Structure 1
């Protein structure tokens, strides 16, 4: 029976692309070179049964020529539950390995020692250190000291070190990965029972959340497990958190701290409990049930100011939307806790949110100045995107129900079936004013049955003043898509009825085709000049600089090679769009652009502004139409495609 140390030697020899010196193995496993020689003799006695052995070279060290046989030997001798330390092979693996080594060391670690530990050159370590420096810079409270003589030393607050380690382990991972840390990070040793400890914390935290009526995202539950697990490992090492400087209600943590102390055999003091509670407070909430949610006073202040800015800028009053305010509280309160620690959420759906909800995203950007004013921090694009989703829901709720008339010539039963289908899919969005026969169409148009916003029919009809959707009598999936195009945005519905008004956003003198090779910002500058020439803006330079500022803050380039640049502030006398089409796509910030819609908005024209973003949403829904627009070379051709 091989000892675990000997199995690790086999694993290290298997993972290494080149022979390993005895002193390298000794340093990696923390034993003497003499012990390594003894272990190699024992291993060779076992390996000869498999007709192979560990060869050695005085200059290069130990190696095995047949790696396939070695892999089979390891598989046969290592229990599935037994975790062996592996060599970090990729640059990202080496970075994580080195940071963990530094975080759990109180002394300098030389680059030669690190190179020996992971069997790479000192030059490779130097490259890795550059990446580590960039990573550490983003983490508040920690700093990497690089000494040519002594090596590397990670200094800073205990809070900063814990956050750095937790971020490394949980970044981009789902909850399953986080609960199997030893498999995800086999080159990091944090104890023999890491997965068991993670599972215990997961079950403990989930039980507490259920008891208190809190619901976190799956990812945040996993991150919370990682936060607490890293903290416990640090406590076991004798590293304790600093005073937080503010009073924290530890009611939730207090309910399970005794279980943690017993399981891990550690003592958790008041400061550690406060830190655990802060980690919980920084997590995004999906909901709260059967309990009173305690949130900071500044949260309500920030939300009220945000709602005031929305009303002032877009003439939208959400002050009485209690559901919207409640959802904002559940999101903003944890966000404030994150921002105070300079931690920002990642959002993989940013581009999708910007594309599908451009108006909601634009409204959400108002939170940037509010947070900057109140907390002196600039929130990132991911945080804005999350807020945009809450705004999108509030916008949907603010729209009036669409008044729908059903015209069916096949009898009452078919009309009833259409009605049931519509209500089953769109109950919260429509009001069915009745089922009618074809001969009643003129009465509907005259308004004798009340206001009608949309006609749904199985017959091929054309009505001048009311949109018509023709559907299959049994309502197929494509029919639902057609109806949804109208119902998803009532502003878009009104827009279809006022096409002349809709296209007043565009003017021939605000159109430019760029047939020569150019640059994205040069195009914006040219389109800004046209706005000045048409007397839409008064200060050309100020407008352009504000547009560039927004681009530097958050890119307005969307999928489909379309960009919607616009200034941070309202400079325009009226709301218009300056259009630029490039013969050849250009790249800016890693994204291609071929169609530029430079928005010049007057926030006092709230209805026109809503119509503008409604038009944009409809445009972004049709990739085919976008493709056609990018091929246009003249204003006439552009308008013809827009009206199609």
Structure 2
């Protein structure tokens, strides 16, 4: 080799990065000390000096490669291309390295020495020991143990079903779009001895032939579990003991039989009876049953669903009980979830983070309602499952809002003639349908003398001033900004947003750089602040902490919105904490801004506007930066005023 592996990793980082990289960043990425980085830089420079380049450092910015002779440097790059390609198999980041080690151990039949793993990955013994701690934590979630044998090394021990589940959930990257679009390079690498594309082709052919319904995500999951089964059996790891077999569906059985046959023929793979049960269970649990709400539906599920909608009405003022679409969708969905739970087949939700970040109101209502309705039953719901249910609830809330928007009486004022005003009227009716009642189209002179007593809104193509009625100035072409302005006027958004800022925020509840170090300290401080201002009921604090045990309340890696399980506030207020340093909110995420919400039942109807403000914050990096640097409550309030 022309260059040592560790130096090659460092060289790649510098070569492919267009910006400068600090010594601290390089140390963190490669997981070696800054002193080692500086030594490696010197070693690299001794190599590069004869190949037309040098690694230099710019103060306060970092290291970069300065190309002195382009021809020499390009020739050198060509010489080490093979080394770089070979090195791509060696993980560079701690996350990639943990996945690599876990996969290696899960598929290893014999003990492995830590020294050998460290040499293989070009890392220190200390680093490998730290990695093993992370691996043990992952394995414990699957009742798997990492056993050690003196002079031989370490080995994973545990149930084969649990090993397969661990492989499925930790080795395969389920990035939603890439995952469902086809076979990824990573999957090809994991299943080196299996033709995944041929496996996919076999499955798809019979799924289409027999018209079996799958979501794209679930179908890909089935193919991956099929590949896991083949790879494990080929390595001598078969399922032992009696497996629970899902009730047999004759049509699904008929569809999967030719899949078994083709797999056995193409992959030279005899499928043992237990493996057939394993494969069939995944095939059935991941397919979508063709049901209607009346198909042998357990009466308990109907009762649970109606009780859920009653709970939402009583506690949140959203009357969704007469939404037959929602009722049928929830009955079918709960039947599918509870059926899967009975056979211990929980479905992963690839969109859970997107749902929590973009539809927080629907998620919170669903989580609280499900927790309260099902707490007296044998069923507990995962965060993934609640995310799926919240999609149905969110859609119903949108329908509810659309239905309850009062039709506004409108006059159109247009200075370009009657024909122009009629065309604008047609466009408005097309966009807003039943939300506008266009009473009349007026010229400017007609407008000056017209009786507007019963009018709610004036839409005009010319600038107007009217003290008694809101005026929306629009372009004749009805641009997107015009549609947005009319939408806000129809829903009274400016009025509601101003109420949110003026009534729900308070300078006494503004905590700038509070002296806390942990999430628990901060939650206690914020609850006490609300309590000292006579805003909350005694049950509030315990309920806030209980809510955190169900699912973390951070929306992203910047903002968290802790709140209680029930509406236990005397008045609606929001306590704000802007942190000097980010606080660890859960095992993976830290936050810098916290809004603790205390909601009175009478105000819940306006909560969607509060959540809209939160979403505007997390979608604007500039706004995040400004909030962190604001030095007063007035400054903070002005920032929020600027986005509504």
Fold match by TM threshold 0.5 = yes
SS in 1 for 2:632: coil
The residue number in structure 2 matching 1:417 is: 423
The residue number in structure 2 matching 1:247 is: 247
**How far is 1:577 from its partner?**
0.4
Counterpart CA distance in 1 for 2:186 and 2:423 is: 53
SS in 2 for 1:313: helix
How many residues are aligned here?
A: 553
The residue number in structure 2 matching 1:232 is: 230
2:404 is the counterpart of 1:403: no
The residue number in structure 1 matching 2:606 is: 611
2:187 is the counterpart of 1:199: no
Partner deviation per Cα, 1:159-188 (whole Å, 9 max, x = no partner) = 222222222443334576688768325664
**How far is 1:511 from its partner?**
3.5
The residue number in structure 2 matching 1:363 is: 365
Q: Is the 8 A contact 2:413 2:462 kept in 1?
A: yes
**How far is 1:397 from its partner?**
0.5
The residue number in structure 2 matching 1:477 is: 480
**How far is 1:69 from its partner?**
5.1
**How far is 1:395 from its partner?**
1.0
Assess, with a 3 A threshold, how the Cα gap between structure 1 residues 559 and 308 changes in structure 2: closer, same or farther: same
Counterpart CA distance in 1 for 2:177 and 2:609 is: 37
Counterpart CA distance in 1 for 2:341 and 2:428 is: 44
The residue number in structure 2 matching 1:22 is: none
Where structure 2 has 5 or more consecutive residues not aligned to the other structure, the ranges are: 7-75
Partner deviation per Cα, 1:180-209 (whole Å, 9 max, x = no partner) = 768325664642x52343332452365157
Counterpart CA distance in 2 for 1:71 and 1:586 is: 41
Counterpart CA distance in 2 for 1:117 and 1:457 is: 72
Q: Is the 8 A contact 1:406 1:419 kept in 2?
A: no
The residue number in structure 2 matching 1:547 is: 544
Counterpart CA distance in 2 for 1:15 and 1:322 is: 68
Q: Is the 8 A contact 1:619 1:625 kept in 2?
A: no
Counterpart CA distance in 1 for 2:448 and 2:584 is: 53
Counterpart CA distance in 1 for 2:108 and 2:624 is: 56
Q: Is the 8 A contact 2:530 2:575 kept in 1?
A: no
Q: Is the 8 A contact 1:15 1:86 kept in 2?
A: no
Q: Is the 8 A contact 2:304 2:373 kept in 1?
A: yes
Counterpart CA distance in 2 for 1:432 and 1:15 is: 76
Partner deviation per Cα, 1:85-122 (whole Å, 9 max, x = no partner) = 99544455665555455545555555567668778777
Partner of residue 596 from structure 2, selected from 595, 598, 614? 598
SS in 1 for 2:568: coil
Matches within 5 A, 1:100-115: 100=103, 102-104=105-107, 108-109=111-112, 111=114
2:327 is the counterpart of 1:325: yes
**How far is 1:313 from its partner?**
1.3
The residue number in structure 1 matching 2:535 is: 536
Q: Is the 8 A contact 2:315 2:567 kept in 1?
A: no
SS in 2 for 1:152: strand
SS in 1 for 2:564: coil
Matches within 5 A, 1:185-584: 188=190, 190-191=192-193, 193-204=194-205, 206-207=207-208, 211-212=211-212, 214-216=213-215, 218-236=216-234, 237=236, 239-240=238-239, 242-244=242-244, 247-249=247-249, 251-265=251-265, 266=269, 268=271, 272-280=275-283, 282-283=285-286, 300=302, 302-328=304-330, 332=334, 335-336=337-338, 341=344, 345=348, 347=350, 350=353, 353-354=355-356, 356-366=358-368, 367-370=370-373, 373-377=376-380, 379-380=382-383, 382-399=384-401, 400=403, 401-404=405-408, 405-409=410-414, 410-427=416-433, 430-437=435-442, 439=446, 445-447=452-454, 452=456, 454-462=457-465, 467-486=470-489, 490=491, 492=493, 495=496, 503-506=502-505, 510-514=508-512, 517-518=515-516, 524-539=523-538, 542-558=539-555, 563-572=560-569, 574-580=570-576, 582=578, 584=580
Assess, with a 3 A threshold, how the Cα gap between structure 1 residues 186 and 385 changes in structure 2: closer, same or farther: closer
**How far is 1:472 from its partner?**
0.8
**How far is 1:464 from its partner?**
5.7
The residue number in structure 1 matching 2:138 is: 135
Assess, with a 3 A threshold, how the Cα gap between structure 1 residues 296 and 378 changes in structure 2: closer, same or farther: same
**How far is 1:379 from its partner?**
2.3
TM-score, normalisation: structure 2? 0.69
Assess, with a 3 A threshold, how the Cα gap between structure 1 residues 175 and 329 changes in structure 2: closer, same or farther: farther
291-300 vs 392-401, which moves further: 291-300
Q: Is the 8 A contact 1:16 1:87 kept in 2?
A: no
Q: Is the 8 A contact 2:509 2:530 kept in 1?
A: no
628-637 vs 159-168, which moves further: 628-637
**How far is 1:258 from its partner?**
1.7
**How far is 1:225 from its partner?**
1.1
The residue number in structure 2 matching 1:17 is: 5
Partner deviation per Cα, 1:365-419 (whole Å, 9 max, x = no partner) = 2224445544554523x54444433322111111224524251323343233333
Partner deviation per Cα, 1:231-275 (whole Å, 9 max, x = no partner) = 233345461364216535363353132233233335557754553
Partner of residue 587 from structure 1, selected from 583, 588, 591? 583
SS in 2 for 1:255: helix
Counterpart CA distance in 1 for 2:627 and 2:184 is: 52
